[in-house]
Amino acid sequence: MKQYELAFKILSILADGYFHSGEALASGAGCSRVTIWKAVAQLKDLGINVFSVKKKGYRLQHKLDILNELEIQKELGELNQFVNFELIQVIESTNSFLNQSSSKKPHATVVAANIQTKGKGRRGRMWQAKIGESLALSILWKFDRGASMLSGLSLVVGLALQRLTQKLGLQNTFLKWPNDLLIKQEENLLKMAGVLIELQGDMESRCSAIIGIGFNYELSKETLKIIDQPAIGIKDFLNQDIQPNQLIAMIIREVIDALSEFEKNGFMSMKDEWLKYNAFKNTHIKFKKSNGEEVIGEIVDLEPDGSLMLKKNDGSTESLISGEVTQVK
């Protein structure tokens, strides 16, 4: 039996939020009550609150949405024939997993996790995914071109997520360069999703991209306290009941469509659409370069390589490719 296999089998039963006796759980799993106790202890070690009450059994604090491989494959429909989808219950990082195994995995492999413990964001940030709160997945895409030809890829993936939110009826989502999806709540911009892309291979011939996506679904108050920036989950804004299994399939479909478009037409065919959803349109930003130098100006365009063209206060323009963007208030 795989690690956590029994624990998640028990969790899938407890996910309804009701009490289940140890005897019933043991009977359903075909094991002893002691084994059930050990599986519950594993869940607790993973940060999942499982309560036990004498003569009632075990239950969760509330109903829980758990990713299920078969359900996601069903939601993918015909696309499931093209995608090699894998669900790993607990993982340190979906990106790291694919980085280590990309040579053995086919094109369009997608790895998702119920729990991600050491996920990576841009500039060394952490992206943890707690079960039922945030989706973590990575897509392996093998290009018949070198890494030097993939400029703008991170903006393309961000745009794919923006397209998804538009289809879901959200009218207040925007893109922060290079690849964050933000949503405006009153006067605040809150992070809903982020992208981290890592490239492998040659600069001029074939290469592979590991496209990591973190998408907030429903963040708890406890999680919000430890995130180092304003964030929120998409569930608060949906006018329809979309479960994580459905949402992750939608993300995969939208990103693959955007990648296919990028391969065929390049980034410049998508540039104007990205600028349409620029979170800092008609306002000044501060661009902090990797060396610490800061540039203040207004985003006026995007270069073919995805870099920002900034119009500075003295009227001159500068193209900027690596750094951090913040709004000047």
pLDDT of residue 128: 64
How far apart, in whole angstroms, are the C-alpha atoms of residue 213 and residue 252? 10
Q: Which residues contact 65 (CB under 8 A, 6 or more apart)?
A: 15, 132, 217, 218, 243, 244, 245
CB 194 within 8 A of CB 298: no
Sheet architecture: strand order including 308-312 = 317-320, 308-312, 294-302, 284-289, 323-327
- The reported pLDDT for the residue numbered 322 is 87
Residue ranges of the chain assigned to CATH 1.10.10.10: 5-60
The segments of the chain whose pLDDT lies below 50 read: none
* CATH code of the region 280-327: 2.30.30.100
Spatial contact of 39 and 8, defined as CB atoms under 8 Å apart: no
Cα within 13 Å of Cα(160), Cβ side: 26
Q: Please report the pLDDT score of residue 23 as a whole number.
A: 93
CATH architecture for segment(s) 69-275 = 2-Layer Sandwich (3.30)
CA distance 284 to 278: 12
Residue 96: per-residue pLDDT: 94
Residue 145: strand, helix, or coil: coil
User: Are 183 and 189 contacting, i.e. CB atoms less than 8 angstroms apart?
Assistant: yes
Element holding 316 (H helix, E strand) = none
- Taking only the tens place, the pLDDT of each residue in 214-233 is 999 999 888 888 887 899 99
Phi-psi region of 292 (alpha: psi -120 to 50; beta: other; left: phi over 0): left
Whether 76 contacts 83, CB under 8 Å: yes
Cis peptide before 230 (omega within 30 of 0): no
Joined together, the tokens standing for residue 157 give 């993936």
- Supply the pTM of this predicted model: 0.92
Given the candidates 2.40.50.140, 1.20.272.10, 1.10.10.10, 3.65.10.10, the CATH classification of the domain at 5-60 is 1.10.10.10
* Inter-CA distances, 277 with 164, 168, 218, Å: 13, 16, 23
Q: Where are the beta strands (DSSP E) in 81-187?
A: 84-91, 109-116, 134-143, 173-176, 180-185
**Under 8 Å between Cβ of 245 and 72:** yes
Q: CA 71 from chain center: how many Å?
A: 18
Query: Which ranges of 102-220 would DSSP assign to H, the alpha helix?
Result: 153-167
**CATH 3.30.930.10 in the chain, residue ranges:** 69-275
By residue count, the chain amounts to: 329
266-302 tens-digit pLDDT: 999 999 999 999 999 989 999 999 888 999 999 999 9
pLDDT at residue 125, rounded to an integer: 59
Q: What is residue 111's predicted lDDT score, i.e. its pLDDT? A: 98
- What phi, psi does 177 have (nearest 5°)? -60, 135
Residue range(s) occupied by CATH 2.30.30.100 in the chain: 280-327
